[in-house]
Structure 1
């Protein structure tokens, strides 16, 4: 706990100053923090359809505040004309005096002045863009959704000291013309690979899994068009069971036609009435325009292909937010998003998508259920805050969200049972994983593990924001849960955590979940880690994991134990197995025991499984963190470690993005090169011989274990002998 507190404190002041400075320099559209993210997520998530029917989310939908007061005090050295752009109805005050009508420009004389803009917008988020020579809209403006203002019988304005003002939210709408309410993802044309007549339809193949809008060229006539979408050829041709389709009626002269909603597909099967004709089919590929900053290559071409397909899977599932999969849900699920955050840190390192997703998932008070109604998904949300801060160094985001964290944890603490443990109550979904026969009864050990980590995160963040009493309270609660985790669930006989605690007694059943998380949470002693590796992770009698979702964590635990050689073979077997079946993106679930079209079935539906699911892209994270071996040890990579592990590969090279550039690593069995633009690093190297480096001195840390200090912007070339 002390170590984690130190991690969060290091470079806190520097990061805070940098983040604040960057925010203040931006002239941009601003809104109540979190509101745009909630509004945009509502817009996105409610596009889902199944076989032409609107399919809404399962959980409570929050909304933006329709009335918001914006204000800031400016010291103006010279008279200034200020332009005002607003989304919504509004009034403007200068030093408490209102302007008439809806002024698009105001005159501000030299001196100290306060500008207030109050905006009402029920349809979209109240937002403003203010542009003058020195007066501008940025994150330093203060906002409230309730100013508590009233006027007494004499006309005197009330004391509004109890009003809570917060700093404005923003994204990247940096010109008046970029209206936040009109945001759309970019698109680009993409041609089909083939068009084939199949029965009365036209089967179109785009060559790989993709996402966007179908476009019919030189369409003419009068009648109905039906488009059946398929992630597989079988799905597109099985018109009675495709998950999604479009039906439209047209009456037009020759011209191009683009369907209204974007969809996921590789194949489309198109039927038209006899009088309707088209010449060609293409699509508008819809995407989030994020740059790949991280990379990985090695001597094994199958691993390279797995990495490339994982990248493509990640990009397809990254839209306005990190979503689960592109065909079926297209929703923001906290457990899925948590993995996407981690992959993001090793590929695109895009902070904005992380923050948008975290804010959209949290929603607003009052809290009436777990995030996505799932207990473990609420707990992942807490973990995501700490990880974001560690990888980004963005202390302002942590500070601005402490109240949201605190009220959500208050809800969680209210769901404990008489033993102080989390147990599914009516209305709670205890998910863990898609696994046949997995018991959710009683207080499950896996949930207590996430609960303890969430309380530790609360203690750390409370310390950051200066709430020492809260920090002590959360630290004590975290310690209590960890103690109970070992007192109740750890079995000396099983050499592992048992799965659950039911009716006052621990069960004898062992599953992988709590055991593998306890390894990379570093909750176990070295001896206990060794026990768990043999009795659980490498024990075929313990029920196997078949979803990429939990394979992510199982392989992470094995990597944390130094079993990269084993993990390499598992990646080649599991992800390589999907590639051998023709996968062009990674799936929601893969069971090598299935065959043919049975691979596409899930949820009792023939094609219910997503063949492009974000949690399938975990090799991005594993290869960056545990093979290249790069991970931050204090916020924003102020300090970090590099601990490369070839895992049976002959050589590998890659880049890991940080807030200030990429850390570059090349590693073979005899040579190592490192270049970092940031912080102070620690290279940890296992070598059969003492490693040599003309630019630094290695210190021996144990049997065949050596350590080298890495300074920024200095290239290190090392010779050694790998095991």
Structure 2
């Protein structure tokens, strides 16, 4: 039987052309035609032929009508028609203030003698027969403004004015920057226009742009011809414009698609405005007008300074004293004003050279010096660290990264350091009174988590990684270390996983997610990490309202816009040379060969779609969920058929190459994309490989091994001798995890990078085996991966309270488990070959053996001790 509903869904999701419709209907047509021919009835044949063509027309018309009016399935871009929550609460939660109170036009004015503005059902409606603008009474400088626009039918053009000006005496009273809302077939919505002044800036065009802007005419027009930007506007629905101005850098986003990132210094401040283009009888509608003034400094509310005493003080000479604070932390120092005359120097460092601070450390390892003047005042005074301009940069090159996360100015400058060297102050000075002011999350709780096992190297690694998460909370959101102080999506996701397993009050993850949704970065795989972050936060908190507020925006992060009719993502030349990461740094890619269809990028795409389907269903968007599921099925089929090398039994790097990197295999394995009958072959191949990846990708490599029974291999790699393991990090003496395994693999690496702290989440999630089984941790899975360890014990924080686990692994496997009240657990315990079942107090429990696991049939609660024997 022909599945017309399935055909409709495929068409709605994949946006296929008429020829695809005919292909879907043709099988039924041919069957009917065969039967009609067998009956030798020209009349029946004619009817069947008409039926076929009528179906083509009806299906295409139905899809076109749905797309034109109010699509129920819109998984490619945000669907603002389906907002079923209070957007004001969501915007305020993200730090925005309303520009419009929803009731009257307080704070707005019309400088023109014509035009009508009124409030209707919480919207601003503009009517007129001449062009006019409604503008704010307040001026703004650096900000992010969000406005939703609904164009009328027929010829229509509108936009959002920003940093604009008003000349009461001019005929064209409002002039300045405008984010274009273009209802014509030109499709320049999201473009940057200079109203009543310089004309089109980006894109530019002859006759309507100044010569200097015509230099990029071809480039800018080509950008707006790309389907992603050209198709960003929902012509007959609501559209969200978000404009960010930081100094001279202007960014315009339309429905989550960045259309413009341009530098122009003409205006530093001005009003916000909305436009009626002057079409008589037309009503332009505006709603949800919000603004966030920049910069935002999360640490002001969420981070505090802790004064720390020196661990040791060493007199190097009569004029040089070295102070050790034991571990690296972000901060500065407070000290009593030294007596005397002249100058002295306070030096800060992450690295020693001999018994002195290394003043020329490699890479981005930190050193800085601050001069002080002796005898200037009494009492204690703050000695700030030097300022690295990159760490406070708010507007870099148009092709560079988003703004750095600032620390509160009242702190004065901070940097990561362990040692302080004071030169020029006598040995009689009370150095023991010097304190480091270290910045940590206000809610950090050292007692929230613990881990110990029979391998002391693993214990040292856990200590390093847990402290790394604590030390990198200094900015109030997750940042990439100290080189740029910028959140990156992949860095943040790994940081998030480890923060959940080490601390018991983790609001920083959700805060970082919102920051990144407004300040995204450029790598291909980093975008799907935003879906991962949202899914992880939802699984942690169980907060459906939080998810509902952010769900539509996530659609722009799945890479759907780059996928073809087979469901697989394509990478153009720029993607292959710059955007597709696979691993970072470049030398850690195991010689990965980049092609148009990339195995790693597509693995991220598919799992992001899977998670979107789960989240859509959780918040009641079942049509979306079904559409995502259909897309996943399509992409998975193509992924396996196109990218798996049946002869070798492993995945290729992509279409057009026979090379297979470990990345092309452990990412699909970690994501559960490898068919059951292919898993053993991929595992056998990976088991022979070393750590041919960075600490970032090692998170997923280790997950792939732990999830598939190769615990021993994972432990071997984590504790391997040589310079490509976490053992190398702890043996080096570092107190915060590194960005790379060693400087020779990334010469400019940070020594304070949280993505290098993956064992902080790997050990609780896999060695202790504690993971959420449902959103909000009402149920948990306990699945220990012991390898050759003889015991492990620890405490894993959850929103419901800590889960405590202690297991021993010898002739039998015993586990003592304490679940918080209200949480139930699903047990999946290791099963040695000779074991017969699971026992509690000597009595057998109903359990089913599946491969190398005993699955306890019933959920457990409270405190219990079990034995597998």
TM-score for both structures, normalised by structure 1: 0.69
Moved more, 376-385 or 561-570: 561-570
Mapped partners of 2:475, 2:860: distance in 1: 34
- Give the SS at the match of 2:470: helix
Q: Distance in 2 between matches of 1:320 and 1:295?
A: 24
Q: Deviations over 1:103-123 (max 9, x none)?
A: xxxxxxxxxxxxxxx998767
Indicate yes or no: 2:817 matched with 1:674. yes
Assess, with a 3 A threshold, how the Cα gap between structure 1 residues 267 and 90 changes in structure 2: closer, same or farther. farther
Which of the numbers 542, 549, 559 marks the counterpart of 2:706?
A: 559
* Contact preservation (8 Å) 1:520, 1:556: yes
- Deviation of residue 337 (structure 1)? 0.9
**Partner deviation per Cα, 1:244-298 (whole Å, 9 max, x = no partner):** 4244564722443311211101223444599xx9856431111113225332222
Q: Which moved more, 1:451-460 or 1:712-721?
A: 712-721
1:473 to 627, 634, 639: 627
Tell me, in whole angstroms, the C-alpha distance in 1 between the residues paired with 2:298 and 2:729.
Answer: 40
Deviations 1:360-399 (A, max 9, x none): 01107xxxxxx32111111111122122212321111110
For residues 523 and 714 of structure 1, the distance between their equivalents in structure 2, rounded to whole angstroms, comes to 35
Q: Looking at both structures, which has the greater relative contact order when contacts are Cα pairs under 8 Å and sequence separation is at least 6?
A: 1
- Cα drift, residue 299 of structure 1: 2.9
The change in CA–CA distance for 1:663 and 1:446 in structure 2 (over 3 A counts) is same
Match of 2:32 in 1: none
Match for 1:68 among 76, 95, 99? Answer: 99
State the 1:201 CA deviation.
Answer: 5.0
**Hey, what does 2:305 align to over in structure 1?**
187
Q: Give the equivalent residue in structure 2 for 1:212.
A: 331
1:261-300 superposed matches below 5 A: 261-271=413-423, 281-289=434-442, 290-292=444-446, 293-300=448-455
Structure 2 vs 1, CA of residues 145 and 569 (structure 1 numbering), >3 Å: closer, same or farther?
A: closer
Larger mean Cα displacement after TM superposition, 684-693 or 227-236: 227-236
Deviations 1:389-419 (A, max 9, x none): 123211111100012112444xx33344797
Of residues 686, 691, 699, the one that matches 2:830 is 686
Give the structure 2 partner of residue 587 of structure 1.
738
With over 3 angstroms needed to count, the CA separation of the structure-2 counterparts of 1:569 and 1:544, relative to structure 1, is closer
Give how far 1:356 is off.
Answer: 0.4
Q: Which residue, out of 706, 709, 716, partners 2:864? A: 716
Tell me the number of residue pairs that the alignment of Structure 1 and Structure 2 aligns. 572
The answer to whether 1:656 aligns with 2:822 is no
TM superposition shift of 1:561:
1.3
Structure 1 distance, partners of 2:242, 2:526, is 29
- 1:512-570 Cα deviation digits (max 9, x unpaired): 113112223211233311111111x2223xx7425222222211111111122232233
Structure 2 residue 651 is matched with structure 1 residue 497: yes
Deviations 1:178-199, CA, capped at 9 Å, x for gaps: x989536211211222243369
* Matched residue, 2:727: 576
1: distance between equivalents of 2:602 and 2:318? 56
Distance 2:853 2:358 in 1: 58
Q: CA RMSD in A?
A: 4.2
Q: 1:150 to 1:577 in 2, by over 3 A?
A: closer
Secondary structure of 1:372 counterpart: coil
Alignment-derived partner of residue 307 in structure 1: 462
- Sort the Cα spacing of 1:547 and 1:149 in 2 relative to 1 into closer, same or farther, 3 A: closer
Match of 2:377 among 225, 248, 253: 253
TM-score, normalising length: structure 2? 0.58
Q: Could you tell me whether the CA contact under 8 Å between 1:297 and 1:304 is conserved in 2?
A: yes
- Where do 5+ consecutive residues of structure 1 fail to align? 1-19, 24-28, 37-64, 73-88, 98-117, 127-143, 152-157, 170-178, 365-370, 591-598
* Aligned counterpart, 1:32: 91
Structure 1 Cα separation of the partners of residues 851 and 307 of structure 2: 57
Unpaired segments ≥5 residues, structure 2: 1-83, 109-117, 120-136, 146-240, 244-271, 277-281, 385-411
User: What does residue 452 of structure 1 align with?
Assistant: 606
Give the Å deviation of 1:312. Answer: 0.6
Following superposition, the deviation at residue 709 of structure 1 comes to: 5.1
Contact 2:592–2:660, Cα closer than 8 Å, also in 1:
no
Q: Which residue pairs with 1:390 in the alignment?
A: 539
CA distance in 2, matches of 1:609, 1:198: 33
Partner-residue secondary structure (3-state), 1:585: coil
Measured in 1, the distance between the counterparts of 2:417 and 2:579 equals 30
Matches within 5 A, 1:129-528: 163-164=287-288, 182-183=300-301, 185-192=303-310, 193-197=312-316, 202-220=321-339, 226-234=345-353, 237-241=357-361, 243-248=366-371, 250=373, 252-258=376-382, 259=384, 260-271=412-423, 281-289=434-442, 290-292=444-446, 293-363=448-518, 371-409=520-558, 412-416=559-563, 420-423=568-571, 426=574, 428-431=578-581, 432-436=583-587, 438-439=591-592, 441-443=594-596, 444-501=598-655, 505=656, 507-528=657-678
